[in-house]
Amino acid sequence: MRKSPRPAESVSTRHFPVRVFLLSGFRLLRDMIVRLLKKQPDILSIGAQESSALAVAEMMASSFDVLLADPAEIKKLVEPSLDDLRRSSPDFTIVLIDMDAGVANLLSSIRHETLHTRKVASAGA
């Protein structure tokens, strides 16, 4: 996979703890990642859902920095849903779950937006 260009925003200006919403259709993986995130003092798991259809309303009701998603589910998010999410969390980043990356790389990706990320800028940006 190709890495998107790094956003202009510095990691040091981000909200801490980093607020993460998890989107994965695999229950076992979702449960393991939620447990892992809860152990991280600088990462806050604010929600987890199994499908993009179920997740959009829950994500819109919360404020998050990172959408951690499996690639199959992120493909199901349609543009109107992304527009709605941009309004609720204007500058969130999508981090794709890479099964080959390992736990340390996953956590680093959430913290530093470095692995398979896509900055989702607000419509006015």
Domain boundaries, the chain: 16-119
Rounded distance, CA 28 to CA 38, Å? Answer: 16
pLDDT at 15: 63
pLDDT at 113: 64
CA 51 to chain centre: 14
Residue 72 one-letter amino acid: A
Are residues 13 and 45 in contact, defined by beta-carbon separation less than 8 angstroms?
no
Q: Please provide the distance, in angstroms rounded to a whole number, between the alpha carbons at the two ends of the chain.
A: 25
Q: What is the pLDDT of residue 104?
A: 87
CB neighbour class for 97 (10 Å; exposed up to 12, middle 13-18, buried from 19): buried
pLDDT in tens, the chain (125 residues): 444 444 444 444 456 799 999 999 999 999 999 999 999 999 999 999 998 888 888 998 888 999 999 888 888 887 778 888 888 888 888 898 887 888 888 898 888 865 455 554 443 43
Is the pTM higher than 0.85? no
Total H helices, total E strands in the chain: 5, 5
**Where are the strands (E) in the chain, listed by range?**
18-23, 43-49, 66-69, 93-96, 117-119
Which CATH superfamily, name and number, covers 16-119?
Response regulator (3.40.50.2300)
